Structure 1
Amino acid sequence: MQSVQDIYAARVAEGRIKEDPAQRAALPELERIRVALAEPAKKGLFRKPPPPPKGLYIWGGVGRGKSMLMDLFVETLIVPARRVHFHAFMQEIQAEIHRLRSGGVEDPVRPVARAVSDSIKLLAFDEMQITDIADAMLVGRLFEQLFDAGCVVVTTSNRVPDDLYKDGLNRQLFLPFIALLKDRMVVHELASDRDHRQDRLAGAQVYFSPADAKARGEIERLWVELTHGDHEELVLHVKGRQVVLPRFHNGVARASFFDLCGRALGPADYLALAEAVRVLVIEDIPRLSRQNFNEARRFVTLIDALYEARVKVIASAAAEPEMLYVEGTGAFEFERTASRLREMQAADWGFD
């Protein structure tokens, strides 16, 4: 099996990725884990298995290549592993705990953790972030049991561990989890000055009108460039509602106007979406008027949330921003939205 360094070098030579010293500096830590997990189990009645290797917590700014390194690393593994967005994983865990509690299980965390550790040797998380108090109160017990069962965790994050759940409610109860992470994982900063995602979009057209076959083709090209065509569904749970992003990979999401504005969603939903993604592709924005006023109002709220969070937006629409909403109630207020859509097309917009 090739080392992580060998595969990285091969992809640089093929032109699939750009050489980055900060990325190279992270490779030995990933290789350390790969080699330890690849060691054959020693057989014998009284032979005790070796302790699992420490995991890895890679943090740094957006677009630095953290997720790409994670993908590359997971491809090298020969042990059962799961690569999943942290938010999606915690939603699954919360749903399973709720199911077991409803069935009368008093302490569902233990069987949930056991089910995870029995099926895999390594968990690879993308974008660890804790914003929900329910997750904050759960992760300590869950991860302690995963670690004790020998499960190795590798994760990426935009935050140093000490900044997780920063200013969160009852944060003092969360601090032992931070200590656990720092004890069971090597913390490595990916300190690159280069924003690779911004590089890929530099000078690229990101707003397409009209929303025709040509626009769909250009958006598909950008999507593949940013995600290599990989994706999964991401469902955000906000105050009992679901915000569904049909396609999501490494902080890049893709959805239609109807997915985002055709349902009764509000500011809290769009704020959660803006926090979860760094690039959002919105397809098939229609002309707006009194006939679809509710959808138009939601679209205004969505763009405000994306603008404040400096999310990069790629869009296809029936008309240029200034011509999307030209008459009817709300047309005057939409002028600010059109202006923001124009500003968000700038080459240096987003990824702050």
Structure 2
Amino acid sequence: MTHIQDIYHARVAEGGLHADMAQQAVLPEFDRIRDALSQPVKKGLFRKAPEPPKGLYLWGGVGRGKSMLMDLFVDHVGVPVRRVHFHAFMQEIQDGIHAARQQGIEDSLAPVAQRVAKEVKVLAFDEMQITDITDAMIVGRLFEILFQAGVVVVTTSNRIPDDLYKNGLNRQLFLPFIDILKQKMVVWELISPRDYRQNRLQGAEVYFTPINAESRQKIREVWEHLSGGEAEKLVLKVKGRDVEIPQFRNGVARASFYDLCGRMLGAGDYLALAEAVKVLILEDIPRLGRSNFNEAKRFVTLIDALYEAQVRLICSAADTPESLYIEGEGVFEFERTASRLREMQAEDWGLS
């Protein structure tokens, strides 16, 4: 059986990857999980199922290759696996709980978690972060059921487990979940001096700053080129609500920052948008900070959804990505968003 390490080194030799010692150091952990899952299960009346291997919690700075390594593992693990953004997964769980409650099921989480456990042996989460109190109160028991069913979890994160849901409401109720993660997963920090996202070529101009008459004119020209000058309103149905996008044509949507981030929208709305469009033109992103903290949080969630779905983003903003959010609570989290905005400027972004 070819190991993940061999596949990685082959891609380096082909020029598809740069050799990185920090990345190479964690590869045996992926091979450990893959080797354990590939062992045949001996059948017999009194034979006990083997203990599943510990998963992997891979954390570190933005752009260090965490998601790339996880994808390499997912592509070659050889067992039923699901790779999903953590926001999207938790949205599905909440939807499932809501449906179970409507059916009168008292323990509404159990059947949802058990259904997931029947479908996969490995869950691979991109960007585990928990900021929503509803998610925080669910994850402990959810993961307990998944681990008891033998599901192995591999995840990336920008935070060490002890910093998840940091300063969150009723955080003491969340702490047992951190203990579960440490028991069931190997926690590994990926320390690489290189930010591969920042090093990518920016390619075609898709990020216009500052916001002025010139940038607005360029945005109009892009829109007219892509839409042919025609447009209609796009209405998305999300949990029985209508989410309206002002202009839409042939897979291209156009909206202002306040259309999408100044309204009470959430992860489910942005995921629905990311599924519906191939290109988003987003205008007039302001500087972010204490004065518009809620809008900033929504913007972070929006960019996560667009990034995961490989949606092409064209936008106008008050400043460069790194200078959009430079003060107030949330600066740390915004580093990842700024990095993603840089990566999404690459010429081939969203075209694969």
Give TM-score, length-normalised by structure 1. Answer: 0.69
Give the alignment's Cα RMSD to 1 decimal: 3.6
**Alignment partner of 1:17 is 2:44:** no
Task: Determine if contact 1:84/1:124 at 8 Å carries over to the other structure.
Answer: yes
Cα distance in 2, alignment partners of residues 181 and 314 from structure 1: 31
Tell whether 2:299 aligns with 1:273. Answer: yes
| Structure 1 position 272, deviation (Å) | 2.4
Structure 2 match to 1:31: 31
Aligned to 1:177: 177
5+ residue gaps, structure 1, are 217-234, 286-298, 317-344, 346-352
Partner of residue 282, structure 1? 313
The answer as to whether partners of 2:59 and 2:66 remain within 8 angstroms in 1 is: yes
Q: 1:283 to 1:240 in 2, by over 3 A?
A: closer
Residues 204-283 of structure 1: pairs in structure 2 closer than 5 A: 207=207, 209=218, 211-212=221-222, 239=264, 242-244=269-271, 246-247=273-274, 255-257=280-282, 268-274=294-300, 277=303, 282-283=313-314
User: By how many angstroms is 1:282 displaced?
Assistant: 3.1
Contact conserved, 1:246 with 1:254, CA < 8 A, in 2?
no
- For 1:147, the equivalent position in structure 2 comes to 147
Residue type of the alignment partner of 1:161 = P
Offset at 1:206? 5.3
The residue number in structure 2 matching 1:7 is 7
State the Cα distance separating 1:128 from its structure 2 match: 0.2
Number of residue pairs aligned between Structure 1 and Structure 2: 276
Q: Is 116-125 or 267-276 further displaced after alignment?
A: 267-276
In 2 relative to 1, CA 73–314 (structure 1 residues): closer, same or farther, beyond 3 Å?
A: closer
The Cα offsets for residues 76-126 of structure 1, whole Å up to 9 and x where unpaired, read as 111100000011000000010011111111111111111011110000000
Cα distance per residue 1:226-263 (max 9 Å; x no partner): xxxxxxxxx99x85652347549xxxx962338x99xx
**Distance verdict in 2 for CA 1:190–1:118, change over 3 Å:** same
**Residue 314 and residue 194 in structure 1: after superposition, are their counterparts in 2 closer, same or farther (change >3 A)?**
closer
Which residue in 1 is equivalent to 2:168? Answer: 168
Per-residue displacement from partner, 1:149-203 (whole Å, max 9, x unpaired)?
1000000000000000000000011000001100110000001111011111479
Alpha carbons 1:54, 1:152 under 8 Å: kept: yes
Q: TM-score, normalised by structure 2?
A: 0.69
Contact 2:270–2:301 (CA under 8 A) maintained in structure 1: no
The change in CA–CA distance for 1:174 and 1:305 in structure 2 (over 3 A counts) is farther
Contact 1:281 1:314 in 2 (8 A): no
Retained in 2: the 8 A contact 1:56–1:155?
yes
Shift of 1:42: 0.7
SS at match of 2:270: strand
Taking a change above 3 Å as real, the CA distance of residues 245 and 283 of structure 1, as seen in their structure-2 partners, is farther
**In the alignment, is residue 46 of structure 1 matched against residue 18 of structure 2?**
no
For residues 32-111 of structure 1, the aligned pairs below 5 Å read 32-111=32-111
Question: C-alpha displacement at 1:314, in angstroms?
Answer: 6.1
Change (3 A) 1:135 1:243: same
1:296 corresponds to = none
* Structure 1 residues 274 and 80, CA gap change in structure 2 (3 angstroms): same
- Supply the AA of the counterpart residue of 1:93: I
- Which runs of 4 or more aligned residues in structure 1 lie more than 6 Å from their structure 2 counterparts after TM superposition? none
Change (3 A) 1:158 1:121: same
Deviation at 1:45, TM superposition (A): 1.9
Secondary structure of 1:48's aligned partner? coil
Structure 1 SS opposite 2:47:
coil
Alpha carbons of structure 1 residues 198 and 144: separation in structure 2 relative to 1, 3 Å: same
SS in structure 1 of the partner of residue 200 of structure 2: helix
Percent identical residues: 55
Structure 1 residue 277: deviation in Å?
3.8
